[in-house]
A = this chain, B = another copy of it.
Amino acid sequence: MEKTSRDPAMTDVARLAGVSHQTVSRVLNNHPNVREQTRLRVKAAIKELDYRPNRAARALVTGKTQLIGVVAQNSTLYGPASLLSAFEEAAGEAGFAVSVGRVKVLDRDSIAAAVERHRDQRVAGIVVIAPNSSAADALADVPAGVPLVTVDGDPDRPTPLVTVDQATGAFDATKHLLDAGHETVWHVSGPADWFDAAGRVEGWRAALDAASAEVPPVVAADWSAASGYRAGQMLARMPEVTAVFCSNDHLALGVLRAMSERGRRVPHDVSVVGFDDVPEAAYFIPPLTTVRPDFAAVARETLGLLLEQVSDGETTRPQRTVAPKLVKRDSVAPPPR
């Protein structure tokens, strides 16, 4: 009778292949000094036993894991969710597991706690999706020595960082509205402490300046359709408003509804542009012209930057940006005359 068979270990493979366990280890780690014939015999034994190396044992002796920790907010905002999903996929393809530490709010304590949990697990590196300034502040507490990359974080901080090029996207969106003939473009902004929002404000303003257009006051909102609606109610009442650039698609949705309620037709009376290109943006009323960030590219850059740090300890070019793309649909037209 067998005992309740435990998983095969390296020694089992070694016995079956007639070699020492060390040779098995060498085959597994692709060391050069193994005879081809031996290598094949070991591989056959591995297959026969369905052997899988014990990561805990390996981690114990090497002091390294194949785990990447991600700290993200517990939200279903489209941008962060897409980014996370793309990152998990990229990391998986590179042979890393991803452990996600969700955080309810992006304040200093929560982030610090999440980072600590990851350090407990001895992750190889940490990615923080830190889109606002409180999150960025929390990173000051992270001890050096842990490879760390920030996504959507503070561009003015020297830590390794990957972001979408918000300013360029916003510039293009605003310029597109100006090119259609609008005198100026109003802006409904995301929360002021989010870097994404700040970058978009900056790009919007740059486009207006470049065209010597008047710069109207920023209409502040959070990211929600609700706040977009409130902003829209105000803008709809002002006849001089003919073009609105919204910091994300959900805000744009709220603006569209407010315009519709007041009888101002989009795009005939008012043009609207969003940001993010959520999947349903093409089915808003009317289909929304918006700016699409390339989340997969952000994920790839992030992983690359992190692995560079893991292996080299240093990194060559610590900040990278990814250009977004304007997607033209039906919510932009020339102003009424």
Beta-carbon contact of B60 and A89 below 8 Å: no
Residue in contact with A284 in the complex, picked from B56, B67, B257, CB distance below 8 Å = B257
Q: How long is the Cα–Cα vector from A98 to B56 in the complex, in angstroms?
A: 16
Residues of B close to A31: CB separation below 8 A: none
Contact residues, A276-308 vs B (CB, 8 A): 279-280, 282-285
Query: Who on chain B is nearest to A254 by CB?
Result: B283
CA–CA, A85 to B75, complex, Å? Answer: 7
Tell me the chain A residues, 53-99 only, with Cβ under 8 Å from chain B.
Answer: 53-57, 59-60, 63, 65, 67, 74-76, 78, 81-82, 85-86, 88-89, 92, 97-99
In this assembly, does A200 line the interface, its C-beta being within 8 Å of a C-beta of chain B? no
Q: A76-B81, A98-B99, A98-B100 are in contact. Are A224 and B119 (CB under 8 A)?
A: no
Are B55 and A122 neighbours in the complex by a CB distance under 8 Å? Answer: yes
Which residue from chain B places its CB closest to the CB of A261 in the assembled complex? B285
A310 within 8 A of B: no
Residue of B whose beta carbon sits closest to that of A257: B285
Chain A at the B interface: SS class: helix
Q: How many copies does the complex hold?
A: 2
* Closest B residue to A86 using CB positions: B74
A63 to B7, CA, bound (A): 10
Given A122-B54, A225-B282, decide whether A100 and B88 contact each other with a Cβ distance below 8 A.
Answer: yes
Contact (Cβ within 8 A) A89 B76: no
Q: Given the known A-B contacts A85-B102, A98-B99, are A250 and B280 also in contact in the complex, defined by CB atoms under 8 Å? A: yes
- Show the binding face of A for B, using Cβ within 8 Å: 6, 52-57, 59-60, 63, 65, 67, 74-76, 78, 81-82, 85-86, 88-89, 92, 97-102, 104, 117, 119-122, 224-226, 228-229, 250, 253-254, 256-257, 260-261, 279-280, 282-285
Given contacts A60-B60, A89-B104, A100-B100, 10 further A-B contacts (CB under 8 A): A56-B57, A74-B88, A74-B89, A89-B102, A92-B117, A97-B117, A97-B121, A225-B282, A257-B283, A257-B285
